[in-house]
């Protein structure tokens, strides 16, 4: 990517949030033939199913090229693998950031030895993990990982009854977190970015969204920021009506506004919005839903301006 300043490049800041599903090829990838027999080894469907099990470097390089064409300033990625066997042992955030010449901050979402979600104020990485990544055209600082509250489950039920005993199987609740960072935008000021992936359980996700919004105050205080703008994005696993209702009810969200609207899931035939970009002190010039060659999600993209302070 070019190293143009904010003023030289354009009059807005382009941001993108995307659940990349650890690089799994999209259901609507060009080579997938709708008319091909599902179990025919010569068909596109068969090859697509095989490829989907093993995301590879080629798929990530194609995705990076698609991102480069979009030319974002800030990218929020969820479901990012870091040197895991299922994704060819690739440090995905590092690879994509290197291909785009962007700064990066990756946080693993994991449990400690006692089984509790971990938080860290240090931008550390660990190999063989899965988590969240923020990529930026501009250098990042003041990075923070915040573990979000969760509703612990020990068993889950599958309606298809594919696993366990009569559909019931042992389940360890996936930890949830929010990755925060400060980005100083030349000629504009400081932008505090939060990237999160909330629970698939409704009650837990609602609580987590409020906590994630409250984390901006923590990071601002730690970095002595008094006039920063806030951007919170990611896969919320909540519908639009719920998010807007929480924005009216939750004190931590009351000054946030929605910056982009559009159905993002599933990628082959989007019918609902579960990915969001919320901002405080920001306004959207333009927004769009973008389909990439990977993932079962579409990306949400917005061109932003810093709002004038009262």
CATH code, domain with 268: 3.60.10.10
Judge whether 118 lies within some domain: no
The residue to which tokens 């599903």 are assigned = 21
The tens digit of pLDDT for each residue in 237-255 reads 999 999 999 999 999 999 9
DSSP for 193-204, written as a single string: EEEEE--SSHHH
Confirm whether 45 is domain-assigned.
no
Tell me if 2 is assigned to some domain: no
Specify the pLDDT at position 87.
87
How far is the C-alpha of 282 from the C-alpha of 270, rounded, in Å?
A: 27
| Residue 161: predicted pLDDT | 64
Domain region containing 100: 13-27+51-112+127-306
Confidence of residue 166 (pLDDT cuts 50, 70, 90): confident
Total domains present in the chain: 1
Q: How many Å apart are CA 276 and CA 246, to the nearest integer? A: 13
Asked whether the beta carbons of 155 and 170 are under 8 A apart, the reply is yes
| Mean pLDDT computed over 91-108 | 96
Phi, psi torsion values for 187, nearest 5 degrees: 75, 0
**Edge-to-edge strands of the sheet including 282-290?**
103-108, 129-136, 74-82, 13-19, 299-306, 282-290
> Does residue 35 belong to any structural domain of this protein?
no
Position 44 in a domain:
no
Instruction: Write down the pLDDT at residue 27.
Output: 75
In a domain, 1, yes or no: no
Whether residue 101 contacts residue 42, with contact meaning beta carbons closer than 8 Å, is answered with: no
Place of tokens 């004190």: 251
166 assigned to some structural domain = yes
For residue 254, being part of any structural domain is answered with yes
Predicted TM-score of the model (pTM): 0.85
């Amino acid at each position: 990517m070019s190293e143009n300043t904010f003023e030289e490049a354009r009059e807005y800041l382009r941001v993108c949030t995307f659940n990349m599903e650890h690089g799994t090829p999209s259901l609507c990838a060009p080579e997938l033939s709708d008319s091909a027999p599902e179990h025919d080894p010569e068909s596109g469907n068969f090859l697509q199913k095989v490829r989907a099990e093993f995301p590879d470097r080629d798929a990530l390089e194609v995705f990076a090229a698609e991102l480069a064409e979009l030319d974002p300033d800030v990218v929020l990625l969820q479901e990012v693998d870091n040197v895991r066997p299922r994704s060819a042992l690739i440090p995905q955030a590092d690879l994509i950031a290197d291909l785009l010449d962007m700064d990066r901050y990756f946080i693993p979402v994991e449990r400690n030895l006692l089984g509790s979600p971990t938080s860290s104020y240090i931008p550390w990485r660990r190999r063989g993990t899965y988590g969240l990544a923020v990529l930026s055209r501009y250098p990042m600082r003041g990075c923070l990982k915040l573990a979000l509250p969760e509703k612990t489950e020990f068993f889950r039920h599958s309606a298809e009854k594919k696993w366990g005993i009569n559909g019931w199987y042992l389940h360890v609740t996936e930890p949830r977190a929010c990755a925060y960072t400060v980005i100083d935008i030349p000629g504009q000021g400081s932008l505090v970015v939060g990237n999160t992936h909330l629970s698939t359980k409704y009650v837990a996700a609602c609580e987590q969204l409020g906590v994630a919004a409250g984390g901006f105050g923590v990071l601002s205080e730690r970095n002595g920021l008094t006039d920063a703008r806030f951007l919170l994005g990611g896969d919320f696993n909540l519908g639009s009506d719920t998010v807007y209702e929480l924005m009216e009810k939750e004190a931590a969200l009351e000054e946030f506004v929605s910056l982009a609207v559009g159905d993002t899931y599933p990628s082959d035939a989007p019918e609902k919005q579960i990915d969001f970009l919320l901002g405080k002190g920001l306004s959207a010039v333009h927004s769009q839903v973008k389909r990439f060659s990977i993932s079962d999600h579409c990306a949400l993209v917005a061109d932003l301006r810093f709002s004038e302070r009262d």
